[in-house]
Each structure stands twice: as structure tokens, then as C-alpha cells.
Amino acid sequence: MPPTPLRPPRAGRGRGVHALALTVLLCAAAGPAAAAGPEPSPSSSPSQLRLPVVAGRIDSSSEGCAKASATVMRQVPWAQRLLGLGRAGLFSDGTGVTVGVVDTGVSARADALSGRLTGRSGADSDCVGHGTFVAGIIGAAPRAGVGLAGVAPGARIFSARGTDATGTPSASLVALGIRAAVDAGCEVVAVSAALSEDTAGLAAAVRHATAHDVLLVAPAVPDDADTARDGQASTASFWPAAAPDVLSVVDFGVDGTRPDGSFEPAAADLAAPGDQVTGIGVTGGGHFVGSGSSFAAAYVAGAAALVRAYHPELTARQTAARMASTGYPADVPRLDVNGALTGVLPAHAAAQPAPAQGIRVLDVPDDDGAVLRAGALAGACGALGMGLWATSALRRRAGARHGPAGRSHRIAGDRGLGPRPGRGAQG
């Protein structure tokens, strides 16, 4: 017995359903593009752009303090695109949160931080450039014609030194910087140092931050792998990242892997972009490139500012747990900014926030009418879909008036069951 053929849908209804489905697909594809507006293409590699490298410290071979860069990153850097910061900015830009940067200082001449920078006395200058670079990853303001912007461009930055004039960190200076940032009211503090030894003063500073509900973010390993290996085992713990309640971060590159020869941490809570990432300079509108876990920690600190602004009910510990639990699965979970902001956690998770009263959506600056276009497109799609559905319904009603014979003939013809040539003569 030949197999029974599958019964196709009725012709009139099939055309209506197919047309409506096509409309939905087209609208779904066009909607996000219209809402988001044109998006720059991925940035070229830093080597093609010839971006200067930001220094980690200065020594006798350095030519004085950091100079301005002549190269501007006009396309969106890979790290911003990977983290989906354009979408995250619709929910939070970090406004209302102050992020402390414990590093080489942050330059008051950095235009991208203008009006949002305060600091400990003497920490508003940066001869090395590293602290300014980190602060830019966290909160650089967007500018017309520039692809680079910080993770939390609405956040304020508080600068505190954790190094000497050459950029060399010490436990005592890092401890003083942490305490200064906590006492200044920071909710998140990014510490760029990864120290091989803990001290009583550093441990006390970390406890001071925890007692004041401040989230500390620090690199799990130093940026300089050769320095890290001096006197260290193949994997080791570094401070303050290894201390309790500190969110420890490791870096990865554009291909998702860690750079060759990278120092392996004993443990890390999150991974974030940190290899060949782009940042601002101490002055001017040009940009630099840098690599290291301290820059990955800056991305996580910026994301923490977004989360603390969007979920003010969360404690520092809950914020850290939420970011870790919403990360992309990997040996070390990878930062998912949008997941940390809007992801729904299991009911038993410690970081589950109170039910949100609606969704807070920020204004979109310089969208060139993108929001209006999105609304108009949604209305047009809805009207088109209803029109197609109504047309399909009218056709079915008209077909029904022809009686069962008409319907049977139409269905039989659609199935290919009508009389074949020569078959009637054989009857």
C-alpha cells in the first residue's frame, strides 16, 4: 500500500497564514535594527590603527610622562561589541554610582571624564597613564564620531593612588587608596594591583570595604606575567583579589582565549575582555591600547556600577553573586553585562532581587529618530498583519458560500487528486 500523503492546509487559509508569518518575520528582523539605528562595524586591530601602548609603569628608559595619542578610535572596539554595551545602556548607564579607581591616578585633563572626576588630594594627575586608561574603560563619555565609550558613562569616578610615582604598587598604598575610596562614598572600587603578599593593613582595608557594603574588584593575576613569575609557583594567589568578598577577574582576548604565556591564576570569579583593549589617554582625544587583567577588572567594575544603579536593592555581595551566576558558562564564567542587568535568577539564588516595578528605560542620546522609527515600524507591521488576516478570513467566507462541492473540488485540485488526462475514457 503506498504511503498516505500528508494533507496540506487549505489554500485560502494557508496563504493568509504564510503571509502573516512572513510579515512577522520581516518585522522581527527589521525591528531591532530600526530601534538600535546604524551600528559601526567592528574595529580594526590595534596594530592596523597604530595605537600607542599604554604603560604599566615608567622607568629610566621612559621618555617622561605619558603623552597624548594622535590616533582616534572611530569604530566600536571589539570589547564593547562583545559585551553588548549598546543594549545595556538602554537599562542603565551607572548614574548615581561612584566608582573608585585605585591605580596610578586619573588625569583631570581627560575630556571623556570631564565633570565626573573627583579624588584624593594629588590623585588627579597621572604621569603613567594606566589609571586614566582604567577609568576610561569604566566611565568614558560617548562622543560624536568616536566609537569608544565606557561601560558606565553616567557613573562618577573617584581617584586614589595605589602606586608610587613610577607606577609600582605597594600593599600600604593600595590599602590607603581603598580606604579613601570607601570613605568617599564609592559603591564599587577597582583595584589594579595584584600583589604577591597580603598584609595586615591590606586585609583590614578589604574588611573596611566589606563592612561599608562596597564591592571591590581586582585582577586575579598581575598584568606583567614575567614579574608575576618571580619567586612564584605555576599558579598562585594575589591580593587583594584572593581576599574574601573581592571579585577577582582574569582577562581574555578577541578570540576568547587568554594570551600566550599568560600567568594562570589559582582561582578567579569572572573573565572579561583584557587583551588588546582600547582606552583613553591622559589628555587629548586620542586612544591607546593595553593588555592585562587589570583592564578586565575595569570592565567588570563598570558592569558592577550598571548593576548597582539598576538594582539598588542589592548588596555588594549580592551584586557579585549575580554577576558571577549570570556569566557565560566556561572554566571561569565570562562577564555577561545584559544578563547581570536583566537576567532572572532561580528563586533560591542569594542574589535574587525584589520584584521590579516595571522596567526603567533610559533616554537614548543622539538616536537620530531611531525610537520614533521603531514605533512607526511596529504600528505599520501590526496594521499589515491585521489586514492580511482579514483578507484571508473574507476569502474563506466567500469559499464557504460555494457549498461543499466547491470546497471539495478546490481541495482535491490542491492535493493533485483531480482527473488525469485519458483517465475518463478508460471509465
Look up 103 and say whether it is catalytic: yes
> Could you say which of 43, 69, 103, 262 is catalytic?
103
Catalytic (active site) residue 287? no
Number of neighbouring beta carbons within 10 Å of residue 300:
34
Which one from 69, 107, 291, 294 is the annotated catalytic residue? 294
> 107, 130, 159, 192: which is the annotated catalytic residue?
130
* 139/122 Cα distance (integer angstroms): 20
Q: Write the single-letter amino acid at 396.
A: R
Burial of 198 (0-12, 13-18, 19+ CB in 10 A): middle
Query: Cα–Cα distance between 265 and 292 in angstroms, integer?
Result: 13
Please confirm, yes or no, whether 111 is among the known catalytic residues: no
Taking residue 167's Cβ as centre, other Cβ atoms within 10 Å add up to 24
Angle at 60 between CA 286 and CA 122, to 5 degrees: 60
What sign has the CA pseudo-torsion 68, 70, 76, 82? negative
**Residues with catalytic function:** 103, 130, 294
